[in-house]
């Protein structure tokens, strides 16, 4: 039985972990749920959580991008390169049967995850966007007066995306920086992109509690995915 309390059961389950979840436990939980979705017809699920400070290496990670392993490093099995997870960052793992939903299209799924982040950020008055050749959702720091003119990066990532698909069931998902310690990113080259920065809602002057972010995520998911 899962130790993560279930909020409701419907076409799509939503769960929120009450405390930071060790990464190895999260991987096992996702494996179990993906198997149950595929073999037992279990409901799709969005699992909202935080992790203790750690780095994860995606399938495209380069060894030279791990600058200082000050936190545990895990091989994630998802797409992408190195990223950071930690307190103050809302992670959303999405386990969804694309075939059952009649949308067996991984590119479309990733596009919809991006749109979910863009819609959610709009709730807080931010214009996030996609960038050609760069995964994730980005903030134009120049427009906010926080770019190169003040010694920073022209653009910074606020949400990371990394997914895996097994027999058309998705897992892993997104991470949205709410109020993490951004100095923790200094141990890696995030997503292998040295010329760009990372930011958060807090860094941009938007201080909101995590439960408010969760409400925005849930409404944004419904707007994009229809469930």
pLDDT in tens, 16-44: 999 999 999 999 999 999 999 999 999 99
Over range 88-113, report the average pLDDT.
Answer: 95
String of b and e for 51-70 (b: at least 16 CB within 10 Å)?
Answer: bebbbbbbeebeeebbeeee
Over range 47-71, report the average pLDDT.
Answer: 92
Q: Is the pLDDT of residue 64 over 70?
A: yes
Name the residue with tokens 């992109």.
193
Contact by Cβ (8 Å): 90, 56: no
Q: What is the pLDDT of residue 58?
A: 83
pLDDT in tens, 172-218: 999 999 999 999 999 998 866 778 899 999 999 999 999 999 999 99
Domains for the chain: give ranges and CATH numbers: 6-225 (3.30.930.10)
Would residue 191 show up in a list of annotated catalytic residues for this protein? yes
CA–CA distance, 157 with 149 (Å, rounded to integer): 18
Over range 100-108, report the average pLDDT.
Answer: 91
Catalytic residue among 191, 198, 201, 224: 191
Here the tokens at position 198 are 């990372």
Strand partners, 49: 91
Average pLDDT for the chain: 91
Q: What is the pLDDT of residue 111?
A: 96
Q: What is the pLDDT of residue 5?
A: 36
Over range 86-105, report the average pLDDT.
Answer: 95
Q: What is the pLDDT of residue 215?
A: 98
pLDDT band at 119 (very low <50, low <70, confident <90, very high): very high
Contact by Cβ (8 Å): 116, 137: no
Determine the distance from the C-alpha atom of residue 218 to the mean position of all C-alpha atoms in its chain, rounded to a whole number: 14
Q: Is the pLDDT of residue 46 over 90?
A: yes
Over range 86-98, report the average pLDDT.
Answer: 97
pTM over 0.85: yes
Residue 106's SS3 state is: helix
Highest mean pLDDT, choosing among 62-76, 185-199, 212-226: 212-226
Q: What is the pLDDT of residue 204?
A: 96
pLDDT in tens, 132-162: 888 899 999 999 988 776 667 889 999 999 9
- What lies within 8 Å, CB to CB, of 125 at 6+ separation is 206
Here the tokens at position 52 are 């203790």
């Amino acid at each position: 039985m899962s130790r993560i309390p279930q909020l409701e059961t419907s076409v799509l389950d939503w769960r929120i972990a009450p405390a930071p979840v060790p990464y190895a436990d999260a991987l096992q939980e996702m494996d179990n749920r993906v198997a149950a979705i595929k073999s037992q017809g279990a409901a799709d699920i969005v699992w909202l959580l935080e992790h203790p400070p750690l780095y994860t290496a995606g399938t495209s990670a380069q060894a030279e991008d791990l600058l200082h392993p000050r936190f545990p490093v895990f091989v994630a099995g998802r797409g992408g390169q190195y990223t950071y997870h930690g307190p103050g960052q809302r992670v959303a793992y999405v386990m969804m049967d694309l075939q059952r939903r009649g949308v067996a299209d991984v590119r479309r799924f990733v596009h919809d995850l991006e749109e979910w982040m863009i819609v959610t950020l709009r709730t807080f008055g931010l214009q996030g966007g996609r960038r050609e050749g760069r995964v994730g959702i980005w903030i134009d720091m120049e427009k906010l007066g926080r770019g190169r003119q003040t010694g920073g990066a022209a653009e910074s990532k606020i949400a990371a995306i990394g997914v895996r698909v097994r027999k058309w069931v998705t897992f892993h998902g997104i991470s949205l920086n709410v109020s993490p310690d951004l100095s923790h990113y200094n141990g890696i080259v995030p997503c292998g992109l040295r010329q760009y920065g990372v930011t958060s809602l807090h860094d941009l002057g938007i201080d909101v509690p995590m439960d408010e972010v969760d409400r925005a995520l849930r409404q944004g998911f419904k707007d994009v995915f229809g469930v």
